[in-house]
A and B are shown apart, each in its own frame.
Chain A
Amino acid sequence: MANFEPKILAFCCNWCSYAGADLAGTSRMQYAPNIRVIRVMCSGRVNPLFVVKALSIGADGVLVLGCHPGDCHYIEGNYKTMRRIPLLKKMLKQLGIEEERVRLEWVSASEGAKFTEVTNSFTQLIKKLGPNPFVHSKQTSKEVKSG
């Protein structure tokens, strides 16, 4: 899979990580073009359902980026995310999806450099993992169609 360019979805919280991504952009830092950013008001808004849905319709990896613990604009939204993602990963593993395909990171508004580092390293990791098995597995795609 030499030419595999993964599709990566990044949920960025409005107050920290999206501003961090913005800073990376305005500072002209280079990062992998594989990510598609969706701005959410808080990482706590990211229902695990969103991640599951993204994986079920073609994302090869999903990043959830939020404010550092203690910095949440809504006081404890990111703590909820901190609890949900590990449980989600445990569940995805049982369903045959590598848990590395989902990553939670804390990126503040001043961390443009961390944003590029996270997106680059995550893109590299997903490239190594290869395409999302759910979308590319023959057994599923065939049967989804017939269903």
Chain B
Amino acid sequence: MAKLKIALYWAASCGGCEIATLAIHEKILKLAEVADIVFWPVGMDFKYADVEKMPDKSVDVCLFNGAIRNEENEHMAHLLRAKSKLMIAYGSCAYEGCIPGLANFYNRQTIFDRVYVETPSTDNPKRIYPKTKVKVPEGELEIPEFYDTVKTLRQTVNVDYVVPGCPPEEKTTWLALEALISGKLPPKGTVISHSVKAVCDECPRKKEEKKIKKFYRPYEKIPEPEKCLLEQGFLCYGIATRGGCGALCPQANMPCTGCYGPVEGVIDQGAHFLSALASIIDSNDPEEIQKIIDDIPDPAGTFYRYSLPDSLLRRAIIK
């Protein structure tokens, strides 16, 4: 059998997903036996022109991480889609927008103002912003256009599979790679993870009735070791997050932040978490309820931490 051809690319991401692909440790030898890497800007010297020269559908699978922040990201998404038989949104940025997607609380202008003018270490009295085209004596220079709104990979091109996580856990990555190597692929559109249920399903903490009088942020209180973090008042996102990670964060006393995305069948993770969370507030008095809610300083940023571009509203309205 001919070796599989794999392409890896990063768009708007932090690089953590690249490390996560290497976190399969010695299994990488097994991968190298059956697959060739034909494009991987982080690890090997390829140029975009090399990809352009490849025949269409000549790459077996593309692991694409990162959100679509600018013109270059979008161009590469379309290019790799054309060259690849299978397109996998690898990691939360490509899947839901993730942390780069939080920029959707702002727009291009407010981001540029902050980055190129307002930051304390910036001295830019003439308010010079990056331009897509600029003329210099040697000719015209171009840089990719920075978009107003961060998009997910699925909002840009057709995506065959999703590997969730920020970054995906080793076993989740291997589950996807194993399926590719063996050729036993799940139905198109599947979010590849060991679980379709919530993180709570895998979390060993003791769960009783959930009633919350006060919300705590992680630095405000040392959690009890065995009791459900949510029951202790921490904003643990496990109830609204797909499992498969093994509930690692809650086991290390850190509330789940929701990086594996919504559970199967849910379209807007943030609104669902809001619904579940508000329901367990232990009060029937509107004033007390408001006081308890005031403990959550940034509900939108908390509930949509990983999924703002993939949510129903996609972005905040900037007036």
Contacts and interface: CB of A to CB of B under 8 A. Distances in A.
Given A83-B278, A91-B300, A47 B313 contact: no
Contact of B317 (A86, A88, A137): A137
B317 A134 contact: yes
A91 B274 contact: yes
B140 interface: no
Nearest to B104: A95
Contacts of A79: 284
A59 to B, nearest CB: 12
Interface residues of B, number: 40
Nearest to B315: A140
Nearest to B302: A91
A13 to B, nearest CB: 16
B44 interface: no
Say whether chain B's binding surface is mostly helix, strand, loop, or mixed.
mixed
B81 interface: no
Contacts of B298: 94
Interface residues of A, number: 30
Interface string B202-219: 000000000000000000
Given A47-B271, A48-B275, A56-B313, A82 B151 contact: no
Interface string B302-319: 010000000111111111
Nearest to A78: B284
B38 to A, nearest CB: 28
Contact of A84 (B156, B270, B275): B275
Nearest to B280: A83
A19 to B, nearest CB: 23
Interface string A73-87: 000000110111011
A82 B284 contact: yes
A86 B271 contact: no
B316 A94 contact: yes
A52 B281 contact: no
Interface string B280-295: 0101101001100100
Contacts of A144: 314
B148 interface: yes
Contacts of A134: 313, 317
Contact of A52 (B279, B284, B313): B313
A82 B280 CA distance: 11
Q: Across chains A and B, which 9 residue pairs bring their CB atoms closest together, nearest first?
A: A96-B317, A94-B300, A49-B271, A147-B155, A84-B278, A56-B312, A91-B299, A83-B278, A95-B316
24 contacts: A48-B278, A49-B268, A52-B268, A53-B268, A55-B313, A82-B284, A83-B278, A84-B275, A86-B286, A86-B293, A87-B293, A91-B274, A94-B299, A94-B300, A94-B316, A95-B315, A95-B317, A97-B317, A139-B107, A139-B149, A140-B149, A140-B317, A147-B156, A147-B314
